[in-house]
Structure 1
Amino acid sequence: MTGADDDVDESATRAFVENRRRILAIAYGILGTLTDAEEVAQDAWIRWSNVPVDDVRDPRAYLTRMASRLARNRLRDNLARRETYVGPWLPEPVATGPDAARYVERADEVSMALLVVLETLTPTQRAVFVLREVFGYSYREIADYLGGSEPSVRQMANRARADVRARRSRFETDRRRHAEITRRFLRACSSGNVDELIEAMSAEATLLADGGGRVGAARQPVVGPEKVARLLVALATGPGHGIRMRMVEANGQPALVGWADSGIAVSVHLVLADDRVEQVLMIRNPAKLGGLGSAEPAGAPGWSRRR
């Protein structure tokens, strides 16, 4: 928390520290990236350090309001900048699970599939959905945090919920089953079994790769199980600098993460529909891999690719 005045009193600092993870979590749900969420938390700290804290009756509510509005406004700016983003834009994964550092609370309740669906909402709809469905705030509280009337917030929440349910109704898979499919998918990639990969995918399977123009990645969606399978096998079995793929947990779901000697190089997330792979979300943009940590898990299922 840099940039704050030296004379910020101890109680104000303590109140912010106690609520920082909540601020990060709200901002991450609204923005979809940990990097942006951390900048929202920094902006919130700077503003909080200039607030007459003695006049604030409920620091948690005050900071929640601040974080919600900062994140919503930042999302509006981000959406404008994404018009020039190179290739598909995907959310930033965050490590979850009992052995992972918890970067933000409740990250396991916002799967990558859900974050992708939330991209279809307006910034205000998304903020309302996250505050209501993920954090359980009342309509009255949300109206206070974001501005507007309680009836309008209720109506917006209902519409956002219906839209999200319509888009993700088929994407509900038991975690154990998800892990089994992910493990088989990993084995098929590493063995070069194109037929097995095709069998694992739906007829509408699509691969989205986010390199952000910083590393090599398909700049258009790859559509169709055969095209997706052949691309994955080429990446998994072709020449490279030694990528060690492991199955980990990110955003509450099994994911595949690849480590090179320099650190994490890629993460792959499978979106399932009726026990088949509907989407392959591949994140290669280095700026979006920090939330997965850095330590390679020992003993996790995986494979290695060497030159």
Structure 2
Amino acid sequence: MSASERAERPELDAGKAPESAPESATTPAEPGPAQASIASATDRPVEAAAGSATAPPEPPDLTSMPLMEHLRELRTRLIRSVVALAVGMVVSMPLSRFVISGVEIPLPIESLRLAGRTIALPDTLAITGLLGMCTACDSIIIISPLEGLITWMRVGLILGLILSTPVILYQVVAFVLPALYSRERRYLYLLLPGAGLMFAIGLAFGFFVVLPRSINFLIGFAEGAGLGAKPTPTLANYIAFVSNLLFVIGVSFETPLVVFMLAKVGILKPATMSRYRRHAVLVIAILAAVLTPTPDPFTMFLVMAPMYLLYELGGLLARIF
């Protein structure tokens, strides 16, 4: 560097760094990686707070679990349910013969009468031995060597399922409960006992009201129609008929709870139920005609009337709660 340049810039001789241009003093420096990470970390709570205002709250007990952990828990719940069903079936096996004897009560054992007449029942139903428990009855027969054993096991399975239902429901609730909100848990605690109670009422209504009239009509029709054959149902067919009929009627008594749940999730509204009440009556009449095993209108009305009342009860519960 020449002497004239040194004279013009004395700071070079003093060992000072040259001053930057005036425009560089006003230009902000770019933040480094550390500064950028700190800034993003401080901005996250604000973004999270803004997002939490619109996002629904998570269930309080919801914990993050891998998929395999969920599958292992599901397998454990299923194994416990199957074991409970097996234990209930073993315990209820000795009771099968008494249940079969009980469901034979609606049958006209001493005499077959037409529908609407009195059914004469014997003083006692003779039950002697497992395979011969229906041989004293003139109304039920066994046509295969395995029919008595298979029917006995089927009734035991049904009773075992009834006895193990609380354990099975507990396993199901324990599996899904952590993913439910507090409001959904409250509805669950109310619906489970209500479902059991309504199903039991449906079974009682079917056994004491619908079943005797259905059997009386069907057997009386077979005799009065002049078919030339004596009505002698087999044990397996009769137990299957009774169990299917009672199950369907028991499920139909769950109508108010189904209507209540549909109203709570927004699928069905009370105003819509009132507007389409005539359509609901038509649908209920069709279901009653399908569920009723007899073509007479009286038995159909016995099934249709409680179904309609239960439908209105479901709408009332949806309005109240």
Q: TM-score range by the shorter chain?
A: under 0.3
Q: As a proportion of its length, which structure holds more helix?
A: 2
Taking structure 2 as the reference length, what is the TM-score of the superposition? 0.22
Q: As a proportion of its length, which structure holds more strand?
A: 1
* Greater C-alpha radius of gyration: 2
Taking structure 1 as the reference length, what is the TM-score of the superposition? 0.23
